[in-house]
Amino acid sequence: MYVYLVLPVVLLLLLVYYVYSIQMSTRNMPPGPFVVPFGLGSIPEVWLRRPIFKFWQVRPWEYLAMLSKTYGDLIGFNVLGFDAIAITSYELMTEVANMEEYSIKFAHELYTYPRTFGKEMGLIFAASPPLWTEMRKFTVRTLREFGFGKVYTMHSVIIAEVNLLADDFKKKIKSDYGVVKFRNTFSLTVLNVLWCMVAGIRYEHDDPRLLKLMGHVFNMSKSVTFGNPLELILPVTKKIAPWLHKANLRNKVFDSCHELSKTLIEERKAEGYYLSEPQNYMDVFLKKIHEHRDQKDTIYTEQQLQSMVADLLMVGSLTLNATLNYGILFLTLNPEIQKKCQDEIDAIVPRNIAPTVDDVEKMPYFQAFMLETHRCANVVPNPVPRMVPKDWHLRGYVIPKNTVILSNHYSVNTDEKIWGDPLVFRPGRFINEKGEFVPDPRVVIFGFGK
Ligand code: HEM
């Protein structure tokens, strides 16, 4: 009896697969793992290739690096019904960086809801010009003005933070039998410096307002699902079963962050200095809102400013905090490297004086140590995916419109052909025979593209 039921189903599935495979084989996508229908895409081959017992532990960037050994530096695949390509070499990343086809982000509503009021706003997931390009230009320029990349402007804030941090270490060493746990050690320091640039405010480390701000950042990073597959495959579940997507939690987290930025915006507006003497990122943004007040479709709105505050808090603090933690880890694991850094610092700055940015310029080994930390830490192994805006002819393949593009920074930072011994932490690779620091652009930290 069951045979009568099972047989037609199997035949139907085979027919669907046959039609699907004919359709896939006529396309001229780059080589990659085989694609099966029913939304499974390339998952079966990826699963078959898993290192034994490690399916859940291996991270996507490690998989892509593994696949590039078989398929090369341009891999075509399919996930959950989305066509995708991965770019895994430095050469190809620089080749596509300024191409029009690589200039749009994949801003699925999955990312934008509810962090940016359910609309395409903010910067991280702003998909296309003019919002993305204009906002990035404005933000980078304004942050530079208030100290980002210009350590002089922020010097006193940074020194005050470093002193607090050193006191904190001393206290911890005394109270915890010499053991310092580093997991969140830099969070308050990093957040205070960042918040100073964004909102012009610096708190004491035990100030409840700073602890609340840190709570916001922590919750935002926890609540942003960068890919709940169910939300992609069946968006309707968001409406009928929001609890599956932690929608309420996400709403709460972003609502409270937006509430905080709204209060600050009102305070800055009431003070009124933003027009004559803007003091920080928020002030400059408010001035822009004022200047564009008569334009109907302006991107300078208060909601956009609130979205930017949330974005900057996240991108700035999580990345920096993680990088510093990795720096400490590499120093701990490599005492001889730690000693070399310390000797170099001691030779230039007396122990009771804080170093300046000019001093760092005189420390080639320390600079090499920082670059090697970026390379090995791989804090952002995959930046936000991009999306092909029109059919793309690349290296003889045709990549269809709407294909998702993943740049795998991890592959470049661990490429044996470039580094020889990529898994060894060796700052010396950036020091030349004269003892000078020679930065290598092939350490991919911040990404490529327009
Ligand atoms: C070591 C620390 C950092 C790392 C590893 C890092 C990494 C990155 C990466 C990979 C991108 C490219 C994103 C993309 O193309 O999708 C990026 C962009 C950006 N980062 Fe950072 N970042 C760091 C620190 C910061 C800090 C402290 C700020 C200041 C708030 C910041 C602000 C930005 C901005 C405004 C962009 C442009 C975003 C865009 O174009 O969408 N970053 N960063």
The pLDDT profile of the chain, 450 residues, written as one tens digit per residue, is 666 777 777 777 776 666 566 556 557 899 988 777 666 677 777 777 766 556 556 688 988 998 999 999 999 988 777 889 999 999 999 999 999 999 888 876 666 666 788 788 888 878 777 888 899 999 999 988 876 555 556 788 888 888 888 888 888 888 877 788 877 789 889 999 998 889 888 888 888 888 888 888 888 777 665 446 666 666 677 777 777 767 677 777 888 888 888 998 998 889 888 898 888 899 999 999 999 999 988 999 999 999 999 889 888 888 999 999 999 999 999 999 999 999 999 999 998 888 887 899 999 999 999 999 999 999 999 998 899 999 999 999 999 999 999 999 999 999 999 999 999 999 999 999 999 999 999 999 987 776
pLDDT of residue 1: 60
Ligand 1 probe mutation, 315, 323, 376, 378, most atoms within 8 A of CB? 315
315 C-alpha vs ligand 1 centroid, how far in Å?
6
227 alpha carbon – ligand 1 mean position (Å): 20
Residues of the chain with CATH 1.10.630.10: 108-333
pLDDT of residue 224: 62
| pLDDT for 220 | 77
Looking at the structure, give the CATH architecture of the domain made up of residues 1-106+381-450. Answer: 2-Layer Sandwich (3.30)
Q: What is the pLDDT of residue 233?
A: 64
**DSSP line for 225-252:** -S--HHHHH-TTHHHH-GGGGTHHHHHH
Q: Is the dihedral of CA 149, 152, 155, 157 positive or negative?
A: negative
User: How far is Cα 411 from Cα 71, in angstroms, rounded to an integer?
Assistant: 13
Q: At 127, list the tokens.
A: 């998909």
Q: Identify the pLDDT of residue 305.
A: 95
Residue with tokens 């699902």: 225
Query: Rounded to an integer, what distance in angstroms lies between the CA atom of residue 48 and that of residue 409?
Result: 24
Q: Give the model's pLDDT for residue 355.
A: 84
pLDDT score at 142: 92
Ligand 1 pocket (Cβ < 6 Å) reads 123-124, 136, 139-140, 143, 148, 194, 312, 315-316, 319-320, 323, 379-380, 383-384, 445-447
- CATH of span 108-333: 1.10.630.10
Q: Do 285 and 308 meet the contact criterion of CB atoms below 8 Å apart?
A: yes
Q: Pick the atom of ligand 1 nearest to 139's CA.
A: 35
Rounded Cα distance, 161 and 205, in Å: 9
CATH 3.30.43.20 residue window(s) in the chain: 1-106+381-450
d(CA 265, CA 441): 39
Look at ligand 1, atom 41, and give the residue with the nearest C-alpha.
124
**Residue 393, strand partner residues:** 398
pTM of the full structure: 0.88
**What pLDDT score was predicted for residue 175?**
83
Ligand 1 test: best mutation among 106, 193, 373, 446, most atoms within 8 Å of CB? 446
Report the pLDDT value the prediction gives residue 148, as an integer from 0 to 100: 59
CA end-to-end span of the chain: 62
Measured CA distances, 319 to 49, 131, 375, 389 (Å): 31, 23, 13, 29
Atom of ligand 1 nearest to the CA of 409: 10
Grouping H, G, I as helix, E, B as strand and the rest as coil, residue 350 is coil
| Ligand 1 atom closest to Cα of residue 194 | 30
137 CA → ligand 1 middle, Å: 13
Alpha-carbon distance values, 86 to 65, 151, 350, 390, 410 (Å): 10, 36, 49, 17, 12
Burial class (CB in 10 A: 0-12, 13-18, 19+), 190: buried
pLDDT computed for residue 55 by the predictor: 56
